Protein backbone atom coordinates (compact mmCIF):
# COMPACT_ATOMS: atom_id res chain seq x y z
CA UNK A 1 0.00 0.00 0.00
CA UNK A 2 1.31 3.44 -0.98
CA UNK A 3 2.26 5.53 2.06
CA UNK A 4 4.37 8.37 0.70
CA UNK A 5 3.23 11.19 -1.58
CA UNK A 6 4.05 10.91 -5.27
CA UNK A 7 4.71 14.41 -6.62
CA UNK A 8 5.51 15.20 -10.26
CA UNK A 9 6.61 18.35 -12.08
CA UNK A 10 5.57 18.83 -15.71
CA UNK A 11 5.93 21.45 -18.42
CA UNK A 12 7.66 22.26 -21.68
CA UNK A 13 11.42 22.69 -21.99
CA UNK A 14 12.97 25.36 -19.78
CA UNK A 15 9.87 25.84 -17.61
CA UNK A 16 11.82 25.50 -14.34
CA UNK A 17 11.02 21.93 -13.33
CA UNK A 18 14.55 21.10 -12.27
CA UNK A 19 14.79 24.26 -10.14
CA UNK A 20 11.51 23.51 -8.37
CA UNK A 21 12.35 19.84 -7.93
CA UNK A 22 15.49 20.85 -6.06
CA UNK A 23 13.63 23.52 -4.06
CA UNK A 24 11.01 21.00 -2.91
CA UNK A 25 13.77 18.56 -1.96
CA UNK A 26 15.32 21.32 0.17
CA UNK A 27 11.93 21.93 1.82
CA UNK A 28 11.49 18.23 2.62
CA UNK A 29 15.04 17.99 3.96
CA UNK A 30 14.57 21.07 6.16
CA UNK A 31 11.38 19.56 7.60
CA UNK A 32 12.89 16.08 8.06
CA UNK A 33 10.51 14.37 5.64
CA UNK A 34 11.77 11.11 4.11
CA UNK A 35 11.99 11.49 0.33
CA UNK A 36 13.77 10.68 -2.90
CA UNK A 37 14.28 12.79 -6.02
CA UNK A 38 14.20 11.20 -9.44
CA UNK A 39 13.48 11.95 -13.09
CA UNK A 40 12.10 10.64 -16.37
CA UNK A 41 13.30 9.29 -18.59
CA UNK A 42 15.87 7.86 -16.21
CA UNK A 43 16.04 7.34 -12.48
CA UNK A 44 17.73 3.93 -12.53
CA UNK A 45 20.82 2.57 -14.26
CA UNK A 46 18.84 0.80 -16.99
CA UNK A 47 16.42 3.71 -17.40
CA UNK A 48 19.28 6.20 -17.69
CA UNK A 49 20.81 4.14 -20.50
CA UNK A 50 17.46 4.28 -22.32
CA UNK A 51 17.41 8.04 -21.71
CA UNK A 52 20.71 8.38 -23.53
CA UNK A 53 19.21 6.69 -26.59
CA UNK A 54 16.03 8.76 -26.48
CA UNK A 55 17.69 12.16 -26.21
CA UNK A 56 20.71 11.57 -28.46
CA UNK A 57 20.57 13.90 -31.47
CA UNK A 58 22.19 11.19 -33.57
CA UNK A 59 18.96 9.20 -33.35
CA UNK A 60 16.90 11.63 -35.42
CA UNK A 61 15.53 8.78 -37.53
CA UNK A 62 13.75 7.18 -34.56
CA UNK A 63 10.15 6.20 -35.30
CA UNK A 64 7.47 7.68 -32.99
CA UNK A 65 6.37 4.14 -32.08
CA UNK A 66 9.93 3.20 -31.11
CA UNK A 67 10.19 6.38 -29.05
CA UNK A 68 6.96 5.59 -27.22
CA UNK A 69 8.00 2.04 -26.35
CA UNK A 70 11.43 3.15 -25.16
CA UNK A 71 9.85 5.69 -22.81
CA UNK A 72 7.55 2.97 -21.48
CA UNK A 73 10.43 0.53 -21.00
CA UNK A 74 12.36 3.16 -19.04
CA UNK A 75 9.25 3.98 -16.97
CA UNK A 76 8.50 0.37 -16.13
CA UNK A 77 11.98 -0.23 -14.75
CA UNK A 78 11.96 3.11 -12.95
CA UNK A 79 8.53 2.65 -11.37
CA UNK A 80 8.95 -0.97 -10.41
CA UNK A 81 12.42 -0.78 -8.89
CA UNK A 82 12.55 2.75 -7.49
CA UNK A 83 9.25 4.65 -7.21
CA UNK A 84 6.93 1.97 -5.82
CA UNK A 85 9.46 0.67 -3.23
CA UNK A 86 10.09 4.24 -1.99
CA UNK A 87 6.38 5.03 -1.70
CA UNK A 88 5.73 1.75 0.10
CA UNK A 89 8.48 2.58 2.60
CA UNK A 90 6.70 5.86 3.36
CA UNK A 91 9.07 8.10 1.42
CA UNK A 92 7.76 10.99 -0.65
CA UNK A 93 8.81 10.78 -4.30
CA UNK A 94 9.63 13.96 -6.25
CA UNK A 95 9.80 13.20 -9.97
CA UNK A 96 10.86 15.52 -12.79
CA UNK A 97 8.34 14.35 -15.44
CA UNK A 98 6.21 11.20 -15.48
CA UNK A 99 3.60 9.70 -17.78
CA UNK A 100 1.78 12.99 -18.49
CA UNK A 101 4.81 13.92 -20.58
CA UNK A 102 4.19 10.85 -22.75
CA UNK A 103 0.59 11.89 -23.32
CA UNK A 104 1.79 15.38 -24.30
CA UNK A 105 4.88 14.56 -26.37
CA UNK A 106 4.05 11.20 -27.94
CA UNK A 107 0.27 11.44 -27.80
CA UNK A 108 -0.51 15.01 -28.81
CA UNK A 109 2.70 16.10 -30.56
CA UNK A 110 3.52 12.77 -32.28
CA UNK A 111 -0.18 12.07 -32.87
CA UNK A 112 -0.06 8.51 -31.53
CA UNK A 113 -3.22 6.74 -30.31
CA UNK A 114 -3.90 8.05 -26.79
CA UNK A 115 -6.15 5.11 -25.88
CA UNK A 116 -3.29 2.74 -26.66
CA UNK A 117 -0.90 4.99 -24.73
CA UNK A 118 -3.24 4.85 -21.72
CA UNK A 119 -3.11 1.04 -21.80
CA UNK A 120 0.69 1.09 -21.99
CA UNK A 121 0.89 3.61 -19.15
CA UNK A 122 -1.25 1.47 -16.87
CA UNK A 123 0.93 -1.56 -17.66
CA UNK A 124 4.30 0.21 -17.38
CA UNK A 125 3.44 2.05 -14.14
CA UNK A 126 1.75 -0.88 -12.39
CA UNK A 127 -1.27 1.47 -12.18
CA UNK A 128 0.74 4.04 -10.19
CA UNK A 129 -0.66 7.59 -10.36
CA UNK A 130 0.85 10.83 -8.99
CA UNK A 131 -0.90 12.36 -5.99
CA UNK A 132 0.02 15.89 -7.01
CA UNK A 133 1.27 17.30 -10.31
CA UNK A 134 2.66 20.81 -10.69
CA UNK A 135 2.48 22.21 -14.23
CA UNK A 136 4.88 25.11 -14.68
CA UNK A 137 3.34 26.86 -17.65
CA UNK A 138 5.30 29.13 -19.98
CA UNK A 139 4.87 30.05 -23.63
CA UNK A 140 6.89 28.33 -26.32
CA UNK A 141 8.56 31.66 -27.08
CA UNK A 142 9.69 31.93 -23.46
CA UNK A 143 10.85 28.31 -23.54
CA UNK A 144 12.99 28.91 -26.62
CA UNK A 145 14.46 32.06 -25.09
CA UNK A 146 15.47 30.14 -21.96
CA UNK A 147 17.09 27.17 -23.68
CA UNK A 148 18.70 28.91 -26.68
CA UNK A 149 22.12 29.14 -25.03
CA UNK A 150 22.44 25.48 -24.09
CA UNK A 151 23.08 22.37 -26.12
CA UNK A 152 19.67 21.03 -27.14
CA UNK A 153 18.76 17.35 -27.01
CA UNK A 154 16.70 15.48 -29.61
CA UNK A 155 13.35 16.51 -28.10
CA UNK A 156 14.35 20.12 -27.55
CA UNK A 157 15.34 20.37 -31.22
CA UNK A 158 11.74 19.79 -32.33
CA UNK A 159 9.77 22.55 -34.08
CA UNK A 160 7.85 25.37 -32.44
CA UNK A 161 4.62 23.76 -33.67
CA UNK A 162 5.59 20.51 -31.93
CA UNK A 163 6.14 22.28 -28.60
CA UNK A 164 2.89 24.26 -28.98
CA UNK A 165 1.05 20.94 -29.18
CA UNK A 166 2.90 19.73 -26.09
CA UNK A 167 2.02 22.83 -24.09
CA UNK A 168 -1.63 22.73 -25.13
CA UNK A 169 -1.91 19.08 -24.14
CA UNK A 170 -0.42 19.77 -20.70
CA UNK A 171 -3.11 22.42 -20.19
CA UNK A 172 -5.76 19.95 -21.38
CA UNK A 173 -4.48 17.35 -18.92
CA UNK A 174 -4.51 19.92 -16.12
CA UNK A 175 -8.16 20.61 -16.86
CA UNK A 176 -9.03 16.92 -17.17
CA UNK A 177 -7.23 15.90 -13.98
CA UNK A 178 -7.86 19.03 -11.93
CA UNK A 179 -8.05 16.93 -8.74
CA UNK A 180 -4.27 16.44 -8.83
CA UNK A 181 -3.00 19.25 -11.06
CA UNK A 182 -1.78 22.63 -9.87
CA UNK A 183 -1.02 25.04 -12.72
CA UNK A 184 1.54 27.73 -11.89
CA UNK A 185 2.72 30.63 -14.04
CA UNK A 186 6.28 29.58 -14.81
CA UNK A 187 7.39 33.18 -15.38
CA UNK A 188 6.91 34.02 -11.69
CA UNK A 189 9.99 34.44 -9.52
CA UNK A 190 11.32 31.00 -8.55
CA UNK A 191 10.97 31.75 -4.84
CA UNK A 192 7.30 32.66 -5.29
CA UNK A 193 6.73 29.42 -7.19
CA UNK A 194 8.45 27.48 -4.39
CA UNK A 195 6.16 29.06 -1.80
CA UNK A 196 3.09 28.06 -3.83
CA UNK A 197 4.43 24.51 -4.19
CA UNK A 198 5.25 24.21 -0.49
CA UNK A 199 1.80 25.48 0.52
CA UNK A 200 0.09 22.94 -1.74
CA UNK A 201 2.28 20.16 -0.37
CA UNK A 202 1.48 21.18 3.21
CA UNK A 203 -2.25 21.13 2.50
CA UNK A 204 -1.95 17.71 0.85
CA UNK A 205 0.01 16.30 3.77
CA UNK A 206 -2.38 17.78 6.32
CA UNK A 207 -5.34 16.26 4.46
CA UNK A 208 -3.56 12.92 4.21
CA UNK A 209 -2.84 12.87 7.96
CA UNK A 210 -6.48 13.65 8.76
CA UNK A 211 -7.69 10.61 6.80
CA UNK A 212 -5.22 8.18 8.38
CB within 8 Å of 6: residues ≥ 6 apart: 83, 87, 92, 93, 95, 128, 129, 130, 131, 132
If one counts every other C-beta atom within 10 angstroms of the C-beta of residue 54, the result is 19
Average pLDDT over residues 108-126: 98
Above 60 in pLDDT, residue 1? no
The pLDDT tens digits of the residues spanning 42-64 come to 999 999 999 999 999 999 999 99
Distance set, CA 190 to CA 21, 57, 65, 124 (Å): 11, 30, 36, 33
Percent of the chain at pLDDT > 70 equals: 97
Q: Which domains does the chain have, with CATH numbers?
A: 6-211 (3.40.50.300)
Amino acid sequence: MKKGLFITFEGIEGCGKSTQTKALADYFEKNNFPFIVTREPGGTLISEKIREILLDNANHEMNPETELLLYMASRSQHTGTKIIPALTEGKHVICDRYYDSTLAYQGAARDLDTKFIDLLIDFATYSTTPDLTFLLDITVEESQRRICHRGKDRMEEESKEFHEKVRNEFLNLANKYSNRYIVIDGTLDSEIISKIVNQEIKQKLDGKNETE
